[in-house]
A and B are shown apart, each in its own frame.
Chain A
Amino acid sequence: MELSFDRLTKHYGHKIAVDCVSATLTPGVYGLLGANGAGKTTLMRMLCAILEPTSGEVFFNGEEVTGMGAAYRNVLGYLPQDFGYYPNYTAAEFLSYIATLKGIPRDMAQRRIRDLLNTVGLLGAAKKKLRTFSGGMKQRVGIAQALLNDPQVLILDEPTAGLDPKERVHLRNLLADYAGDKIVILSTHIVSDVEAIADQVLVMKNGRFILRGTVPELVRRASGKVWELTVPAAKARAWEKRVAVANFRHEGEYVVLRIISDQRPAEQAVPCQATMEDLYLYHFGEEA
């Protein structure tokens, strides 16, 4: 199974949202990382065939997806960024509605809905109206609907938004279990989510992929660029203005700064182990 896109581009007037990106995705979890406005949502909508590219094409198993129509939608699961729902429906009714739209037979749908509500921890709230749900609960309903048709290609736009830490961990485990022989693409700007479950990471900036690789590969790219420097508390703010500071840690009258920099920022600075977050700050420091 293979999902590929070739020189995919989307312009909105003079603004370039996605700029000639290409990739070939095979089963696994792909983390699409980037700041707000990097082009992640636009790219995902094009991959879902709900947004027409200005140029370029998306292929599933070698076949152009817009030409596949319903055949592609049958293998697709999608959670949009701003997940829309019907407030007067209960969770079970909403999923039943989406299942019907997806063409899943009623009996099968009912079993699947029950399983998925159980999986996302909402079985007890199945008969409650969606308008009474918290943001996290709605997001979990959104994830359940994306999984209804057991999709081979699962595209999740900011799936962890609104989830509390426990729910985020639960979702990560769920996706890790689910992935197996499927293609899962999730976008986020929460680095730890990508770090935890993505087999491959695609880092987007200004509509382009600026980095791609596994987490260890990308982290290696940041090695040698992360430093720790202990300075008096009074001077910490001055350092923040001069260099990219990833973290402040107070130790008595001193502050330990975690600095992202190509060069050693000071004689006393010591190199330290890089993380994905450091890499993110290295590339998006000015936007963060």
Chain B
Amino acid sequence: MELFRLEHKKLWRKTSVRVSVLLCFAYVVIFGGFLTYQWFEFGSSPDLVSHSFDGYSLIRSQQEQAASYGGVLTDEAFQQMVADYQAADASGDKVKMDIIDWKTMSLYLNQLYPDLKNDSDIRPVYYYVDTEKLTGFYERRLASLDTFLHSQGQTGEEGAMLMAMNDKVEEPFRYEWVRGWQYVLGTSLADLGTIMAVFVAIVLAPTFSGEWHNNTAPLILTTDGGWRRLALEKVLCGLAFAVELFMLMAVGGITAQLVYLGTDGWDMPIQTMKLLAVAPMNMLQAEIYEYAFTLLGVIGFAGVVMLLSALVKSNFLSLLFSLAAVYGPMMVANYLPASLQGVLGMLPLVGDASDIFRTNTFHIFGKYIWSPYLLIIVPVLIGLVCIPFAIIKWSRRQQA
């Protein structure tokens, strides 16, 4: 325990570690959290380009407006939503137009009511659609989902599995303000792992290679604990750092979310933000999944970075390979067949937490498995498998 404490202290003493954590925190929590809610994304946008520094009050107004539709997404509620927007447009009430969730409205209309679109009118469909015709929301959603699955070739056993998942989604949907959750689950959390990968790599790449850089091998090898004990502590310390960094980002992100968005709408089904999602999850469950996905991905990635650090003697190469382990697959994935993309997605922090909104599956040993199950488990397993190899490889190098 004492060695772990000292190793941990050694890690946090490094300037590169402190700067990395500070930058990560600033990017994720300050810019991606507080300033985005208050300004960059949720501030009012009278000219549709820039945003004002009034996110907090605008979010409150939007939440109140969404709550006014009764908390359940029925045909009538949706019709009222669109009608309110059209009335505000007719009266030139820009403030009202800003607080109605037109992005979500647009999503529903484009996906479920494409037949109501007037090609000769260049305005978004919610400006002119006849609200009386906005009926059969859930029947249209089901038909749309069925069409989508067929277009993806997801029929037979696979299609049945996905539809069985969808059957568990409660209808009618609970409905409150969706846009905040869209940002949290679709953008902020979905990108968290990709951003953290940079900083985890910078901090952990020198875990073992740094000992060569510091030329400490002869000292370590002549101590009682020797390399094996130290290697174990280093690995534990690296994993602890990964968890600490994650916790820092998660606590910061959740704090910003609670301050600005509150808890309203936590029990809405995720289908309110992605109509064709089949998972019977609410927003809170989705958020827990995405945080768990990132945490396990970061732990898995930490294992990979430490293995790479043990394989090379240069800090620079260790960092380079670590970054390549995440961003390399991301870069080439788009040029590969879908099945290979799926496999690459199982590498730590390469996959996407927002797969819970999709219908992707893996076909393994004759069984269809919904992709998020594997995407959350496999990366951490890869990392854990890397750890003993890192210890063994480093010890062999040290004994040269």
User: Which residues does B use to contact A, with CB under 8 Å?
Assistant: 2-3, 6-7, 9-10, 13-15, 211, 214-226, 229-230, 399
What is the interface of chain A, defined by CB distance below 8 A to chain B?
45, 48-50, 52, 69-70, 73-74, 76-78, 80, 82-89, 93, 96-98, 100-103, 106, 145, 149
Q: Which residues of A contact B225 (CB under 8 A)?
A: 70, 100-103
- Chain A residues whose C-beta falls within 8 Å of the C-beta of B211 in the assembled complex: 84
Partner among A74, A84, A88 whose Cβ is within 8 Å of the Cβ of B224: A74
Bound-complex Cα distance A103 to B14 (A): 25
A50 touches B222 (CB 8 A): yes
Q: Is there an interface contact between B10 and A52, defined as CB atoms closer than 8 Å?
A: no
Contact A102 B10 (CB under 8 A): no
- Return chain A residues, CB-CB under 8 Å to B7: 97
The verdict on A97 contacting B6 (CB below 8 Å), with A80-B219, A82-B215, A86-B216 known, is: yes
B218–A102 CB distance below 8 A: no
Distance to closest chain A CB from B337 (angstroms)? 47
**Closest Cβ of chain A: how far from B131's Cβ, in Å?**
66
- Chain A residue nearest to B216 (CB atoms) is A84
The smallest beta-carbon distance between A171 and chain B, in angstroms, is: 19
- Give the top 10 A-B pairs by smallest Cβ distance, nearest first: A84-B215, A84-B216, A103-B224, A101-B223, A88-B13, A80-B218, A50-B221, A78-B222, A100-B3, A97-B6
By secondary structure, the B interface counts as: helix
Measured in the bound complex, the distance between the Cα atoms of B3 and A103 in whole Å is 9
Q: In whole angstroms, how far apart are the Cα atoms of A93 and B230 in the complex?
A: 16
What chain A residues lie within 8 Å of B219 (beta carbons)? 78, 80, 83-84, 98, 101, 145
- A84:B2 contact, CB within 8 angstroms: no
Chain B residues whose C-beta falls within 8 Å of the C-beta of A145 in the assembled complex: 219
Q: Which residues of B contact A88 (CB under 8 A)?
A: 10, 13-15
Known: A45-B218, A84-B215. 18 other contacts (CB 8 A): A49-B222, A50-B399, A69-B226, A70-B226, A73-B226, A74-B224, A82-B215, A83-B219, A84-B219, A85-B214, A86-B13, A88-B13, A100-B6, A101-B219, A101-B223, A102-B224, A102-B225, A106-B2
7 contacts between A and B (CB under 8 A): A49-B222, A73-B224, A85-B216, A86-B13, A88-B13, A101-B219, A101-B223
Bound complex: CA of A77 vs CA of B7, how far in Å? 21
**Bound form: Cα–Cα A102–B3 in Å:** 10
Q: Is the CB of A48 within 8 A of B222?
A: yes
Nearest residue in B to A88 (C-beta to C-beta)?
B13
Cβ of A159 to closest chain B Cβ, rounded Å: 14
Are the CB atoms of B214 and A52 closer together than 8 Å?
A: no
Q: Which residues on A sit within 8 Å (CB–CB) of B221? A: 48, 50
Q: What separation, in Å, do the CA atoms of A218 and B373 have in the docked complex?
A: 77
Q: Is the CB of B6 within 8 A of A96?
A: yes
Chain B proximity of A87: nearest CB distance (Å): 8
Q: Known interface pairs A101-B3, A101-B223, A102-B225. Does A86 touch B214 (Cβ–Cβ under 8 Å)? A: yes
- Residues of chain B within 8 A of A85, CB atoms compared: 214, 216
- Residues of B with C-beta under 8 A to A76: 222
Contact B222 A73 (CB under 8 A): yes
Residues of A within 8 A of B6 (CB): 93, 96-97, 100
Which residue in chain A gives the minimum CB-CB distance to B10? A86
Compute how far the CA of A100 lies from the CA of B220 in the bound complex, rounded to whole angstroms.
11
Residues of A within 8 A of B220 (CB): 101
A48 near B224 with CB under 8 A, answer no
Cα distance, A48 to B226, chains bound together (Å): 12
Q: B222 to chain A: which residues have CB within 8 Å?
A: 48-50, 73, 76-78
The answer to whether A101 and B230 have CB atoms under 8 Å apart is yes
Instruction: Give the distance in Å from the alpha carbon of A221 to the alpha carbon of B49 in the complex.
Output: 92
Whether B9 contacts A98 by the Cβ 8 Å rule is no
CA A91 – CA B328 in complex, angstroms?
41
B235–chain A nearest beta-carbon distance, Å: 16
B residues in contact with A106, CB < 8 Å? 2
Residues in B with CB closer than 8 Å to A86 are 10, 13, 214, 216
Note all chain A residues with C-beta closer than 8 A to B216: 84-86
- Separation of A76 and B229 alpha carbons in the complex (Å): 18
Are B217 and A73 neighbours in the complex by a CB distance under 8 Å? no
Contacts of B15 in A (CB 8 A): 88
